[in-house]
Amino acid sequence: MKPLGIISGTVLLQGKGIFADLREETAETEFGPAALFYSAGIVFIARHGREPRRHVLPHLINHKANLTALKERGVREILGIHSTGSLKRRLKPGMLVVPHDYILLGAGPTVVREKATHIVPVLSAEVRRKLLEAAHDCDMDCMDGGIYWQTSGPRFETRAEIALMSQFADLVGMTMASEAIIAQELEIPYASLCSVDNFAHGLEEKALTLEKILWHSRRNAEATLHILTRYIKRDARTSDPA
């Protein structure tokens, strides 16, 4: 069975459960190097790097190298784990969401170089279904559907920008759409499990801080790990010829 690709960021998963005892390798791709952590069953990329003191800011992430490295490793599909801000008061910090669509205004990343390749952007319905079923198996509430709005970062959004975005989307982040676009260009099924880690700027009176976001993301890390573990076990069971 081909390995499962996983990309995570602020939600810290390294060294726990299925992420324990991973081997590290630097993959050289035509778009640059990518740091991989792998076992027989998974290939993991920490999109912001593995050193907190050398955090790779969102606008500096080499999505093209990361996704190409996963493609060259032969992953069957990719799960993106994302820390997000809520654009709706009903989506509270601590919740989990599997988005069904995304918004990225302006030019996004692409691995297309020579000939025009026009894709109809979608998130994989099959991978989304399996994420939701894994969450259900773990008896964890996970919202089915939502629209993710990607901004460029690294700054947070203004109150006015959030007021605009909230009319059309449910979550805001800085990385998911870029990964989804390239994964689809590379013909790898892709979907995202989003951790709601804060209310976006202006949705509450308290000031938005990075420390508050990290606190919620760490609380959601265990839930995320349980869902991913169940996802892998379900896949292994359905692929077992016996």
Write out pLDDT tens, residues 92-110.
Answer: 998 999 999 999 998 788 9
Per the listing, tokens 């379900």 go with 234
pLDDT-above-70 percentage for the chain: 88
Among 191, 207, 162, CA closest to 97: 191
Return the pLDDT at 54: 79
Quick one: average pLDDT of 198-215?
Answer: 74
CA pair distance 100, 102, nearest whole angstrom:
7
The amino acid sitting at 76 is: R
Which tens digit of pLDDT belongs to each residue from 183-202?
A: 999 999 999 999 998 899 88
Mean pLDDT, rounded, of the chain:
89
Cβ-in-10-Å burial (0-12, 13-18, 19+) of 112 comes to: exposed
Task: Characterize the bridge pairing of strands 4-8 and 171-173.
Answer: unpaired
- Classify residue 54 by burial, with Cβ atoms within 10 Å: 0-12, 13-18, 19+: exposed
Q: The domain at 4-239 falls in which architecture?
A: 3-Layer(aba) Sandwich (3.40)
Burial 173-194 (b: 16+ CB within 10 A, else e): bbbbbbbbbbbbbbebbbbbbb
Give the containing element (helix H, strand E) for 72: helix 63-72
Q: What is the Cα–Cα distance from 177 to 106, expressed in whole angstroms?
A: 12
Best CA proximity match to 64, nearest among 98, 12, 10, 111: 111
Beta carbons within 8 Å of 26's beta carbon, 6+ residues apart: 33, 34, 35, 36
**Residue 53 is encoded by which pair of tokens?**
């003191």
Give domain limits for the chain: 4-239
